[in-house]
Structure 1
Amino acid sequence: MKKIRYDMVFSMLLFLALLAFSTCIAAEFKRSKSKDMKSDGKRCSLPGSPAFGLGIAASICLLAAQIIGISIIATQFCSKDEHVCINPRTRIMSITLLLLSWVSFGFAIFLLGVGTSMNKSQMYGYGWLDGECYVVKDGVYIGAALLSLAMVIFILGVTLTTRTRDHQRQEEQGRMQGKEDGR
């Protein structure tokens, strides 16, 4: 069986996380504002905004990053390589980081979902909730962006605390061989 190239997988994970972060920041600046709302007294209307598409893109990137990150962790736990005897302290830290990654992912997806749905076009009488128009508050997308970065940091923390001794030794040998070849 082929060895997994972790550098490529980590690169993809970081790329997706940065893409989710940047689309969240862009969505914050492109979201519907209260000045865009039109009202006829009882009913209101909001035009659609580019934040709708940006929010969907951020959600997809965030979901893909979470799947890749959890897959990395699962392959490390289910690997047939000889694992380091993980002491209870490291195990608790790994589990805590894993739970924090899921919590930050859940909150980020929730913020993105709610914010994105509010940025879809809201016609007169067909508002977001109960026929009323709502506008996303400042900082919702920035909060989702920060939570997406936190999620990736937690995933990287779990992968670093659950690495195998064999994998670490192979990396050290590769570095030493690279230094010898570079002479």
Structure 2
Amino acid sequence: MEAAVTVLLIFVVGMSGVTSAVLGFIAETKKLTPDDIHVSGRECVYPANPAHALAVCAIILLAVSQIVASVAGGCCRPGGGASKSTRRVVGVVVSILSWIMAVIAAVFYWRGAKLNAPGTRDATFAGAFYEKCLVIRGGVFVRAAVLSLVATSLAIKSCVLLRAPAAKDAPAVEGAAADEPRPHGQHPPEAGVAVGLPQWPAQGNGQAPYPQPAAAEGYGQARV
């Protein structure tokens, strides 16, 4: 169940971040150009265009991706040993880097959205009889889209590191089970203690048998 939830959260983070980047690339092709802006007296008229809405949606999706990744990482979840703590430290560092990349991407998105918003703005005088209007430079949305992809990949990495289960304990030492008690009170024999019974047959009088010394060589039995 935990693995399924992790996969689902990573899918949401990835889809939101990638969609944000795609919208950024599309906004780059739809942004206003100097030919689209008209000068009326001392004002610049910016017509409506899709780049403004695309940039705003890209910011929202990027924020959703980062928030879901941070919540999925479980920053408040307790650690689980030295290996778990080390993994969490790396995961937190990666998450911070992801947020830094996301903030920079959002700044580029916001800059592009502001300069592509429809409306009128005061013209800037570049000379006595020359007026100019501000226009977004090429590549702003592209940089934002690339940074969105980098932030999303780092967010997924941090989510995996922070949600990874703790390492299992090392297996028991071989032979340790020999020290455990056996059923019915049986215990394994201690090392160096000989066990067993004598192999001489029992006699009828109930006395334990003893080995008889062999007759001496060279001597016969005594005669009566």
Aligned to 1:94: 91
Q: Determine helix, strand or coil for the equivalent of 1:165.
A: coil
Higher RCO, Cα 8 Å, sep 6+: 1
Residue 43 of structure 2 aligns with which residue?
43
Structure 2 unaligned spans of 5+: 125-131, 169-224
Percent identity (aligned)? 20
CA deviation vs aligned residue, 1:66-107 (integer Å, no higher than 9, x gap): 11011111x2x4335x62523786555333312211111111
TM-score (normalizing by structure 1): 0.75
Using structure 2 for the length normalisation, give the TM-score: 0.62
Where does 1:20-99 land on structure 2 (aligned, <5 Å)?
20-40=20-40, 42-73=42-73, 75=74, 77-79=75-77, 83-86=80-83, 90=87, 93-99=90-96
* Bigger mean CA offset, 21-30 vs 86-95: 86-95
Superposition RMSD in Å:
2.8
Q: Which residue of 2 aligns with 1:117?
A: 114
Q: 1:161 to 1:128 in 2, by over 3 A?
A: farther
* CA pair 161-6 structure 1, distance change in 2 beyond 3 A: closer
Alignment length, in residue pairs?
160
Q: CA deviation at 1:41?
A: 6.0
Aligned AA for 2:43?
Answer: R
Higher percent of residues as strand: 2
Amino acid at match of 2:9: V
Higher Cα Rg: structure 1 or 2? 2
Q: Which moved more, 1:104-113 or 1:91-100?
A: 91-100
Alpha-carbon distance between aligned partners in 1 of 2:106 and 2:15, rounded to the nearest angstrom: 18
2: distance between equivalents of 1:111 and 1:128? 23
With 12-21 and 92-101 compared, the bigger mean Cα shift is at: 92-101
Q: Is the 8 A contact 1:49 1:121 kept in 2?
A: yes
Task: Tell me the residue number matched to 1:142.
Answer: 142
As a proportion of its length, which structure holds more helix?
1
Question: 1:133 is matched with which residue?
Answer: 133
- The unaligned stretches of length 5 or more in structure 1 are 168-183
